């Protein structure tokens, strides 16, 4: 009975509404509300602030919510460990990720893991950068494959590899032959940008502080796939790490020129785990698999660009 009440509590917190939580649970709103009131009476404190737009946890509610989610996660991990005693790896692996990894990198790894361990299920979510800290802190997710950012507290970086944010363009673009570029050098050309530019806006503000120059996007989108197509069409330069565009770079369809600004040239992508989270066996196996592939991926990114290889070959022929 107590477990059911706590599940109701968790659903109300997730949905921000007693009615929506009741719909998700397929029970009457009055029953959910009655159980929440009973729980508040038992705890001797209000667990939700109630307003016209819904409900949200009070500080006391946040403490209880953390306990509830940790308990639920621990139960699922224990079930998976008991199953593993019989040689079966099972359980759910919850991952948050950059969209560029979500689209091109992680699907193959999930496929490989699922083939090897058919009893493992996966929840893989793309998160807005502003929500990363909360997504890691919430206890809902096992780990993230993300940019390493010192602003994220209470996490351990268990694996990482260096990458660089660069200017992504067609090989016939006037800037494609450069070994590196500054944002200032890109100003004179059309650019395309993601709607969320995370640290790029801050870097641009510093870069253009004295000159007064501005990068005015020709196209803005929140879709990596859309950006891929418009960059390949020659509609503008994009600013990304190579990780989501490796196949196009390998085929010579796009060129990635690293940006010289230190905050962009010295980026790192890593696996971030909440510091006090006890990982299940499936999560540990998935982290090991991703780490192995990231190391291999890093060595590929260190190879010369296709255009550079062709120029080197021409030079040898002369």
- pLDDT for the residue numbered 165: 82
> Does residue 194 sit in helix, strand or coil?
strand
What φ, ψ does residue 256 adopt, rounded to 5°? -110, 115
CATH class for domain 166-265? alpha beta
Tokens of 260: 């010289």
Alpha carbon 100 to its chain centroid, in Å, reads: 9
Residues in a beta bridge with 220: 193
> Closest Cα to residue 47, out of 74, 68, 22?
68
Going from the first residue of the chain to its last (318 residues), give the mean pLDDT of each consecutive group of 10, the final group possibly shorter: 78 89 88 89 90 89 84 75 74 85 84 92 84 77 84 80 86 93 88 72 64 78 89 92 85 91 76 85 92 75 46 41
Residue 29 parent element (H or E): helix 29-43
Tokens of 187: 């100003």
In angstroms, the CA 75 to CA 69 distance is: 10
- pLDDT for the residue numbered 206: 66
- pLDDT for the residue numbered 208: 65
Q: Topology of domain 2-64, per CATH?
A: Arc Repressor Mutant, subunit A (1.10.10)
Residues composing the chain: 318
> Closest Cα to residue 161, out of 149, 179, 151, 148?
148
In angstroms, the CA 306 to CA 249 distance is: 7
Report helix angle 281-301 to 59-84, nearest 10: 90
Domain with CATH 1.10.10.10 in the chain: 2-64
Q: Give DSSP secondary structure letters for 94-133.
A: EEEE-HHHHHHTHHHHHHHHHHH-TTEEEEEEE--GGGHH
Looking at domain 89-163+268-301, what is its CATH homologous superfamily? Answer: Periplasmic binding protein-like II (3.40.190.10)
Domain with CATH 3.40.190.10 in the chain: 89-163+268-301, 166-265
Residue 14 parent element (H or E): helix 2-15
Residues with Cβ within 8 Å of 273's Cβ and at least 6 positions away in sequence, in order, are: 142, 143, 155, 156, 158, 279, 287
């Amino acid at each position: 009975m107590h477990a059911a009440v706590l599940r109701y509590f968790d659903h109300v917190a997730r949905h921000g509404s007693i009615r929506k939580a009741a719909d998700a649970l397929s029970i009457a709103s009055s029953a959910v509300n009655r159980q929440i009131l009973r729980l508040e009476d038992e705890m001797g404190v209000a667990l939700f602030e109630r307003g016209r737009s819904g409900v949200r946890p009070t500080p006391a509610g946040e403490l209880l919510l953390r306990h509830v989610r940790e308990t639920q996660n621990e139960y699922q991990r224990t079930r998976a460990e008991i199953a593993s005693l019989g040689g079966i790896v099972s359980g759910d692996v919850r991952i948050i990720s950059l969209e560029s990894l979500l689209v091109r990198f992680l699907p193959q790894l999930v496929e490989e893991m699922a083939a090897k361990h058919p009893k493992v299920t996966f929840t893989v979510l793309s998160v807005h950068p502003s929500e990363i800290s909360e997504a890691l802190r919430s206890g809902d997710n096992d780990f993230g494959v993300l940019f390493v950012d010192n602003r994220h507290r209470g996490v351990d970086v268990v694996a990482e590899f260096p990458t660089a944010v660069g200017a992504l363009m067609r090989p016939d673009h006037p800037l494609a032959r450069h070994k590196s570029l500054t944002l200032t050098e890109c100003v004179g050309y059309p650019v395309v940008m993601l709607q969320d530019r995370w640290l790029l806006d801050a870097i641009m503000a510093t870069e253009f502080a004295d000159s007064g120059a501005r990068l005015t996007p020709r196209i803005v989108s929140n879709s990596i796939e859309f950006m891929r197509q418009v960059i390949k069409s020659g509609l503008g330069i994009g600013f990304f790490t190579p990780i989501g565009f490796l196949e196009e770079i390998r085929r010579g369809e796009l060129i990635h020129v690293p940006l010289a600004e230190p905050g962009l040239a010295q980026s790192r992508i890593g696996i971030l785990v909440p510091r006090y989270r006890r990982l299940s066996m499936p999560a540990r196996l998935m982290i090991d698999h991703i780490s192995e592939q990231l190391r291999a991926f890093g060595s590929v990114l260190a190879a010369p660009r296709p255009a550079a290889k062709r120029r080197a070959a021409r030079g040898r022929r002369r």
